[in-house]
């Protein structure tokens, strides 16, 4: 085994699919929970939506999922912008790697 050099980089350790999915869904789930608690503590949803006949349970639930959605969008964009620039050159690295010598 040769020591890693600039011309032959060691591939980064593989990240399983489940870990990728979880990395987006899970932190946003937690922050959505916190956001909902803070939201529910500071505002009484009944007075915020006085003119509508929503139950508090419905408002809490919907706000939780909206917060979750926001978190998912946030996490996905972070992952998107963290993608190495080379990937956007039509996945050249992978083609090169797959081509025979």
Partner 1 sequence: MSEAGFKPGVAVEIEQSLYSKRKKIYPRQVHGLFAALRTSGVVVLLGLYYIIPWLQWDDRQMVLFDLPVRKFYIFGMVFWPQDFFYLALLLIIAAMSLFFFTAVAGRLWCGYACPQTVWTEAFLWIERKIEGSRPQQMKRDKAPMSWNKFRVKASKHFIWIVFSLFTGLTFVGYFSPIRELTYNFFTFNNGPWEIFWIFFYGFATYGNAGWLREQVCTYMCPYARFQSVMIDNDTLVISYDAERGDPRGSRKRSADPKQQGLGDCIDCTICVQVCPTGIDIRDGLQYECIGCAACIDACDDVMDEMGYAKGLIRYTTENTLKGKVTHVFRPRTLAYGFILLVITFGAAYAMLNRTPLAFDMIRDRNTLYRETSDGLIENVYIVKIMNKDKRAHRYQLSVSGLDGISLRMDVDHIEVNSGEMVEIPVRAVVNSGAIHRRSNELSFKLVAEDVEDLAMTEDARFIGPLAER
Residues at the site binding partner 1, with contacts judged by CB under 8 A: 1-2, 4-5, 7-11, 14-19, 22-23, 26, 40-42, 44, 55-58, 60-61, 94, 97-98, 100-101
| Nearest distance in Å: CB 58, partner 1 | 6
Cβ atoms of residues 28 and 75 within 8 Å = yes
Task: Supply angle C-alpha 19, 22, 23, rounded to 5.
Answer: 80
Residue that has been written with the tokens 């591939």 in this structure? 11
| Nearest distance in Å: CB 68, partner 1 | 12
Tokens of 69: 């959605």
| Nearest distance in Å: CB 14, partner 1 | 4
Length of the chain counted residue by residue: 101
Looking at beta carbons only, is 42 or 83 nearer to partner 1? Answer: 42
Looking at beta carbons only, is 57 or 85 nearer to partner 1? Answer: 57
Looking at beta carbons only, is 30 or 73 nearer to partner 1? Answer: 30
Cβ atoms of residues 72 and 25 within 8 Å = yes
């Amino acid at each position: 085994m040769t020591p890693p050099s600039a011309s032959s980089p060691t591939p980064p350790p593989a990240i399983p699919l489940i870990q990728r999915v979880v990395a987006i869904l899970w932190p946003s789930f937690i922050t959505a929970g916190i956001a909902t608690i803070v939201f529910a503590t500071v505002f009484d949803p009944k007075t915020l939506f006085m003119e509508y006949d929503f139950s508090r349970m419905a408002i809490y639930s919907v706000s939780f999922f909206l917060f979750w959605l926001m978190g998912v969008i946030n996490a996905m964009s972070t992952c998107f912008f963290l993608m190495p620039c080379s990937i956007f050159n039509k996945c050249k690295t992978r083609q090169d790697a797959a081509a025979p010598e």
